[in-house]
Amino acid sequence: MKSNAILKGCVGVAVKKDAPRIVVQGGGRLAGELSVQGAKNSILPLLSATVLCQGESVLHNCPNLSDSDAACRILNCLGCKCVREANAVTVDSREVLNTDVPKDLMREMRSSIVFLGAILGRTKQCRLTFPGGCELGPRPIDLHVMALRKMGVNIEEEGGFLNCNAPKGIHGAYISLALPSVGATENIILAAVTAKGTTEIQNAAREPEIIDLAEFLNKCGAKISGAGTGTIVIEGVEKLGGAEHTVIADRIVAATYLCCAAITRGELILKNVDFRHISAILPVFEQMGCSIYTYNDNQIYINAAKQLHAPYKITTSAHPGFPTDAQPMFMALASTLKGTTVFVETIFDNRFRHAQELRQLGAKISVNDRVAVVEGVERLIGADLEATDLRGGAALVTAALFADKTSTITGISHIERGYDDIVGNLQKIGAKISSN
């Protein structure tokens, strides 16, 4: 067994003996019901959208995450007043005093680039750090920059900073995206809602979180149509007020808990989830041999057979395809299935880092560039593991639930970016899991 004090990871960071960790005693069958938290990938653009509102907004069903805390800190830094009470976050954006996002806060939240369009829309200028690379490989923002320039924004890069301004105002434009980038689509919408004239986005991202953003903005007075399709049209309006809105359920968290139930050959009722948002995922569970029932519009029941079969091939793609964010948890599950599963990752480079940690448990995974081949094994054995990214971390928790003996997972700050109390939720359905 590895020592927790050894050097780990490509950056060679020493893991301290007392580093926070999740401890899992695997091998038990999970059963019960859980309610799914609000979506991380919705709350971040929604919080940034409040910058555009000359009034007060209330967002309900806000998950308690380190990423949403960081977004609230950015809002406060800009001069908005952002307060959380239980799962509701109230943002008073009557006054936006600053146009710069401090470097430390930009770094804290990887998707902070989504503030760019909103700050520009409200103040016509913005200075923030270039987001740079991250654990999923380089995350370029060329599409964001190209689109904003078409809308009249001057953007200059200087010493790691993006200096942006639109002295003559922002105007509508026809923008055809080379890729249906989620972040670029969000930034264009945010910059376009109060721009002069009409903006049309072709090859827009179609994720449910884009629809959620458009619905909130329309409640605030925006005129956005076509969200959820490849063509989005935004008619600029003079100004936006605030609105009250409930964040949609997190489809990736839903997929995670379904994988946790399936890997323990257990059964689970998931509540507060829109099963249409995971329509590419549910058939994969059925192919494996799980029974899936959807009912009451917002509930899913899964029951896993004792012997599950490999689904052969999982290829990630933009929505409505199989989400790249669910790939790591499915890889954990595939490690325990009868047969071989091939994963093809088409969205990000470097999205198989969890494979190396899963191998520590005894998983048989070979990786070649963007293809991973997983040969199912009958047993995994607990080990000391380190999460190196958010969903990769969730994959380790998933696999540890199946593994005999005890696993410890460090690097849990990655997991806390996207899961609101994963430990407490898994305990509720019978997992022997704790954190310290």
Q: Where in 299-328 is the site for ligand UD1 (CB under 6 A)?
A: 324-325
The answer to the question of residue 142 lying near ligand UD1 (CB under 6 A) is yes
Q: Nearest residue to ligand UD1, using CB?
A: 183
- Applying CB under 6 A, which of residues 43, 143, 222, 269 lies at the interface with ligand UD1? 143
Find the part of the chain contacting ligand UD1 (CB under 6 A) among 27-35, 49-57, 80-88, 137-145: 137-145
The residue whose two tokens read 């639930």 is 401
User: Which residues are CB-neighbours of 252 under 8 A, at least 6 positions away?
Assistant: 39, 40, 41, 323, 325, 326, 391, 418
| Rounded CA separation 182/231 (Å) | 13
- Considering only residues 202 to 241 of the shown chain, the ones binding ligand UD1 according to CB under 6 A are 205, 209
Is 134 catalytic? The answer is yes
Q: Which two tokens stand for residue 414?
A: 């990655």
The one-character DSSP state at 171 is B
For residues 151 and 195, the answer to whether their CB atoms sit within 8 Å is yes
Distances (CA, A) of 219 to 199, 244, 393: 19, 8, 36
Least gap, CB of 69 to ligand UD1 (angstroms): 15
Least Cα distance to 251 among 212, 277, 270 occurs for 277
Comparing CB distances to ligand UD1, the nearer of 178 and 305 is 178
Task: Supply the angle between the helices 142-150 and 115-123 in degrees, to the nearest 10.
Answer: 20
| Stretch of residues binding ligand UD1 (CB under 6 A), selected from 180-188, 263-271, 296-304, 394-402 | 180-188
Calpha distance 112→48 (Å, rounded): 9
**What's the min distance (Å) between Cβ of 346 and ligand UD1?**
8
Per-position x/- string for 348-377, each x denoting binding to ligand UD1 as judged by CB under 6 A, each - no binding: x-----------------------------
Q: Please identify, among the stretches 76-84, 174-182, 187-195, 331-339, the one whose residues bind ligand UD1 according to the rule CB under 6 A.
A: 174-182
281 binds ligand UD1 (CB under 6 A): no
- CB of residue 233 vs ligand UD1: minimum separation in angstroms? 20
Q: Does 150 bind ligand UD1 (CB under 6 A)?
A: no
- Is residue 93 within 8 A of residue 52, CB to CB? The reply is yes
**Shortest Å, Cβ 188 to ligand UD1:** 11
3-class secondary structure, 107: helix
Q: Please count the residues of this chain forming the interface with ligand UD1, following the rule CB under 6 A.
A: 20
The binder of ligand UD1 chosen from 21, 122, 124, 144 (CB under 6 A):
144
At how many degrees (to 10) do helices 182-192 and 115-123 cross? 10
DSSP state, residue 94: S
Using the minimum distance from each CB to ligand UD1, give the nearer residue, 104 or 142.
142
Nearest to 352 by CA among 326, 379, 371, 333: 371
Q: Which is nearer to ligand UD1, 181 or 408 (CB)?
A: 181
- 93 or 111: CB nearest ligand UD1: 111
- The active-site residue out of 77, 80, 126, 134 is 134
Of 21, 36, 38, 41, the residue at the interface with ligand UD1 (CB under 6 A) is 41
Starting at the edge strand that comes first in sequence, how are the strands of the sheet with 406-410 ordered? 384-386, 406-410, 22-25, 432-435
Asked whether 55 and 93 are in contact (CB, 8 A), the reply is yes
Considering beta carbons, is residue 26 or 183 the nearer one to ligand UD1? 183
Residue whose CB is less far from ligand UD1, 29 or 139? 139
Output phi, psi for 2, to 5 deg: -75, 150
Question: Residues interacting with ligand UD1, by CB under 6 A?
Answer: 41, 44, 111, 139-144, 179, 181-184, 205, 209, 324-325, 347-348
Active site residues: 134
